[in-house]
Protein backbone atom coordinates (compact mmCIF):
# COMPACT_ATOMS: atom_id res chain seq x y z
CA UNK A 1 0.00 0.00 0.00
CA UNK A 2 1.61 3.28 -1.08
CA UNK A 3 0.39 6.83 -1.42
CA UNK A 4 2.28 9.67 -3.04
CA UNK A 5 2.38 13.30 -1.93
CA UNK A 6 -0.71 14.32 -3.87
CA UNK A 7 -3.10 12.74 -1.37
CA UNK A 8 -6.36 14.39 -0.37
CA UNK A 9 -6.07 17.01 2.36
CA UNK A 10 -8.43 15.12 4.69
CA UNK A 11 -6.21 12.00 4.72
CA UNK A 12 -4.07 11.33 7.79
CA UNK A 13 -0.55 10.98 6.44
CA UNK A 14 2.96 10.14 7.56
CA UNK A 15 5.49 11.87 5.35
CA UNK A 16 9.08 12.92 5.25
CA UNK A 17 12.43 12.93 3.46
CA UNK A 18 15.55 10.76 3.58
CA UNK A 19 18.54 13.06 4.01
CA UNK A 20 22.31 12.85 4.36
CA UNK A 21 22.94 13.60 8.04
CA UNK A 22 25.85 15.91 7.22
CA UNK A 23 24.81 17.74 4.05
CA UNK A 24 21.01 17.44 4.48
CA UNK A 25 20.73 16.63 0.80
CA UNK A 26 18.12 14.11 -0.31
CA UNK A 27 19.19 10.47 -0.72
CA UNK A 28 17.42 7.95 -2.92
CA UNK A 29 16.75 5.04 -0.57
CA UNK A 30 14.82 1.82 -0.22
CA UNK A 31 12.08 2.78 2.25
CA UNK A 32 9.80 0.26 3.94
CA UNK A 33 7.04 0.91 6.46
CA UNK A 34 4.78 -1.36 8.50
CA UNK A 35 2.26 -0.98 11.30
CA UNK A 36 3.20 -1.93 14.87
CA UNK A 37 2.89 -4.56 16.25
CA UNK A 38 1.23 -6.79 13.63
CA UNK A 39 2.73 -5.45 10.41
CA UNK A 40 -0.63 -5.93 8.71
CA UNK A 41 -0.36 -2.55 6.97
CA UNK A 42 2.84 -2.16 4.99
CA UNK A 43 4.37 -0.70 1.86
CA UNK A 44 7.52 0.63 0.31
CA UNK A 45 9.16 3.26 -1.87
CA UNK A 46 12.39 3.71 -3.80
CA UNK A 47 12.81 7.46 -3.47
CA UNK A 48 14.18 10.27 -1.30
CA UNK A 49 10.69 11.06 0.03
CA UNK A 50 7.78 9.05 1.40
CA UNK A 51 4.10 9.57 2.12
CA UNK A 52 1.53 7.02 3.24
CA UNK A 53 -1.84 7.00 5.03
CA UNK A 54 -2.08 6.15 8.72
CA UNK A 55 -5.16 4.85 10.47
CA UNK A 56 -6.39 5.08 14.05
CA UNK A 57 -3.82 5.05 16.85
CA UNK A 58 -1.45 2.41 15.45
CA UNK A 59 2.24 3.31 15.33
CA UNK A 60 4.40 2.59 12.28
CA UNK A 61 8.05 1.74 11.80
CA UNK A 62 9.87 3.18 8.77
CA UNK A 63 13.27 1.85 7.70
CA UNK A 64 15.44 3.58 5.09
CA UNK A 65 18.45 1.87 3.47
CA UNK A 66 20.86 3.36 0.93
CA UNK A 67 24.16 2.11 -0.44
CA UNK A 68 27.11 3.47 1.55
CA UNK A 69 24.97 4.52 4.53
CA UNK A 70 23.92 3.04 7.84
CA UNK A 71 20.29 1.91 7.72
CA UNK A 72 17.99 3.88 10.04
CA UNK A 73 14.61 3.03 11.56
CA UNK A 74 12.22 5.60 13.01
CA UNK A 75 8.79 5.30 14.59
CA UNK A 76 5.76 7.31 13.52
CA UNK A 77 3.23 7.92 16.29
CA UNK A 78 -0.21 9.35 15.43
CA UNK A 79 -0.17 11.39 18.65
CA UNK A 80 2.42 13.62 16.93
CA UNK A 81 -0.12 14.63 14.26
CA UNK A 82 -0.10 18.34 13.41
CA UNK A 83 -3.21 20.43 12.75
CA UNK A 84 -3.11 19.45 9.06
CA UNK A 85 -3.32 15.76 10.01
CA UNK A 86 0.29 15.11 9.12
CA UNK A 87 3.08 13.37 11.03
CA UNK A 88 6.40 14.55 9.61
CA UNK A 89 9.49 12.39 10.26
CA UNK A 90 12.62 13.03 8.24
CA UNK A 91 15.18 10.23 8.32
CA UNK A 92 18.85 11.23 8.56
CA UNK A 93 21.33 8.66 7.23
CA UNK A 94 25.01 8.68 8.15
CA UNK A 95 27.79 7.20 6.00
CA UNK A 96 28.62 3.59 6.91
CA UNK A 97 31.14 3.42 9.75
CA UNK A 98 30.39 6.93 10.99
CA UNK A 99 28.83 7.59 14.38
CA UNK A 100 25.16 8.56 14.46
CA UNK A 101 24.40 11.44 16.78
CA UNK A 102 21.28 10.90 18.90
CA UNK A 103 20.06 14.45 18.43
CA UNK A 104 17.02 14.29 20.69
CA UNK A 105 18.73 12.62 23.64
CA UNK A 106 18.38 15.02 26.57
CA UNK A 107 20.11 14.86 29.97
CA UNK A 108 19.73 17.13 32.96
CA UNK A 109 22.78 19.40 33.13
CA UNK A 110 25.67 17.68 34.87
CA UNK A 111 23.61 14.52 35.42
CA UNK A 112 23.06 11.13 33.79
CA UNK A 113 19.27 11.10 34.17
CA UNK A 114 17.56 10.67 30.77
CA UNK A 115 14.72 13.10 30.16
CA UNK A 116 11.51 11.18 29.24
CA UNK A 117 11.29 13.36 26.11
CA UNK A 118 14.26 11.33 24.83
CA UNK A 119 12.49 7.99 24.99
CA UNK A 120 11.02 8.18 21.48
CA UNK A 121 14.48 8.42 19.88
CA UNK A 122 15.80 5.55 22.00
CA UNK A 123 12.71 3.52 21.05
CA UNK A 124 13.77 4.00 17.41
CA UNK A 125 17.08 2.32 18.30
CA UNK A 126 15.24 -0.52 20.05
CA UNK A 127 13.05 -1.14 16.98
CA UNK A 128 16.11 -1.12 14.70
CA UNK A 129 17.89 -3.70 16.88
CA UNK A 130 14.75 -5.81 17.25
CA UNK A 131 14.22 -5.92 13.48
CA UNK A 132 17.92 -6.62 12.80
CA UNK A 133 19.13 -9.21 15.29
CA UNK A 134 22.70 -9.24 13.92
CA UNK A 135 23.31 -5.54 14.65
CA UNK A 136 25.77 -4.65 17.39
CA UNK A 137 26.27 -1.04 18.42
CA UNK A 138 28.69 1.08 20.40
CA UNK A 139 27.37 4.01 22.43
CA UNK A 140 29.89 6.85 22.72
CA UNK A 141 29.53 9.52 25.37
CA UNK A 142 30.85 13.10 25.11
CA UNK A 143 30.63 16.13 27.39
CA UNK A 144 31.61 19.77 27.04
CA UNK A 145 34.97 20.84 28.47
CA UNK A 146 33.70 22.71 31.51
CA UNK A 147 34.91 21.30 34.83
CA UNK A 148 37.65 18.75 35.40
CA UNK A 149 38.61 16.18 32.78
CA UNK A 150 38.16 13.42 35.36
CA UNK A 151 34.61 14.50 36.25
CA UNK A 152 33.67 14.84 32.58
CA UNK A 153 34.97 11.36 31.80
CA UNK A 154 32.93 9.90 34.66
CA UNK A 155 29.80 11.77 33.54
CA UNK A 156 30.14 10.56 29.95
CA UNK A 157 30.53 6.98 31.25
CA UNK A 158 27.40 7.33 33.39
CA UNK A 159 25.39 8.72 30.49
CA UNK A 160 26.21 5.95 28.00
CA UNK A 161 25.50 3.36 30.70
CA UNK A 162 22.12 5.02 31.33
CA UNK A 163 21.31 4.78 27.61
CA UNK A 164 22.44 1.14 27.55
CA UNK A 165 20.22 0.31 30.55
CA UNK A 166 17.20 1.84 28.83
CA UNK A 167 17.75 -0.16 25.63
CA UNK A 168 18.36 -3.39 27.57
CA UNK A 169 15.17 -2.76 29.58
CA UNK A 170 13.26 -2.99 26.27
CA UNK A 171 14.49 -6.53 25.62
CA UNK A 172 17.77 -6.03 23.75
CA UNK A 173 20.67 -8.22 24.93
CA UNK A 174 23.37 -6.24 26.71
CA UNK A 175 25.98 -8.27 24.82
CA UNK A 176 24.98 -6.41 21.65
CA UNK A 177 25.80 -2.99 23.14
CA UNK A 178 29.31 -1.74 23.83
CA UNK A 179 30.02 1.60 25.48
CA UNK A 180 32.89 4.07 25.29
CA UNK A 181 33.39 7.37 27.08
CA UNK A 182 35.43 10.32 25.79
CA UNK A 183 34.61 13.07 28.29
CA UNK A 184 35.37 16.43 26.67
CA UNK A 185 38.30 15.19 24.58
CA UNK A 186 36.50 15.17 21.20
CA UNK A 187 34.58 18.43 20.84
CA UNK A 188 32.66 19.22 17.67
CA UNK A 189 33.11 22.95 18.30
CA UNK A 190 35.83 24.80 20.21
CA UNK A 191 34.06 28.12 20.80
CA UNK A 192 33.33 28.94 24.44
CA UNK A 193 29.65 29.66 23.83
CA UNK A 194 26.48 27.99 25.16
CA UNK A 195 25.67 26.81 21.62
CA UNK A 196 29.08 25.16 21.21
CA UNK A 197 28.89 23.50 24.64
CA UNK A 198 25.44 22.15 23.83
CA UNK A 199 26.76 20.74 20.54
CA UNK A 200 29.61 19.00 22.35
CA UNK A 201 27.33 17.37 24.97
CA UNK A 202 26.14 14.30 23.09
CA UNK A 203 25.80 10.54 22.88
CA UNK A 204 26.56 8.94 19.54
CA UNK A 205 25.82 5.46 18.24
CA UNK A 206 28.20 3.53 16.02
CA UNK A 207 26.99 0.39 14.22
CA UNK A 208 29.74 -2.19 14.64
CA UNK A 209 28.19 -5.01 12.60
CA UNK A 210 24.99 -5.76 10.73
- pTM summary value: 0.72
What are the tens digits of pLDDT across the range 60-85?
999 999 999 988 889 899 999 999 99
**CATH number for the domain formed by residue range(s) 13-93:** 2.60.40.10
CATH 2.60.40.10 intervals, the chain: 13-93
What are the tens digits of pLDDT across the range 139-189?
999 988 888 899 999 999 999 999 999 999 999 999 999 999 999 888 877
Using the Cα atoms of residue 90, residue 67, residue 171 and residue 154 in order, give the sign of their dihedral. Answer: negative
Contact 128, 62 (CB under 8 A): no
CA-closest candidate to residue 113, choices 184, 177, 161: 161
Contact 203, 142 (CB under 8 A): yes
Q: Write down the number of H helices and E strands in the chain.
A: 3, 12
How many Cβ atoms sit within 10 Å of the Cβ of residue 59? 18
Kindly state which CATH superfamily the domain 100-209 is placed in.
Answer: OmpA-like domain (3.30.1330.60)
Amino acid sequence: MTLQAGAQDDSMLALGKVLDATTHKGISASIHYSSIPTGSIYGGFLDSTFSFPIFGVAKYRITAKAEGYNARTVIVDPKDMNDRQRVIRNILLTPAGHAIRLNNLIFSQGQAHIDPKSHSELDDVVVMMTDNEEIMIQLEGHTDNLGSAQANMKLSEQRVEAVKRYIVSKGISRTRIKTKAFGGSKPLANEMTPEARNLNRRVEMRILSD
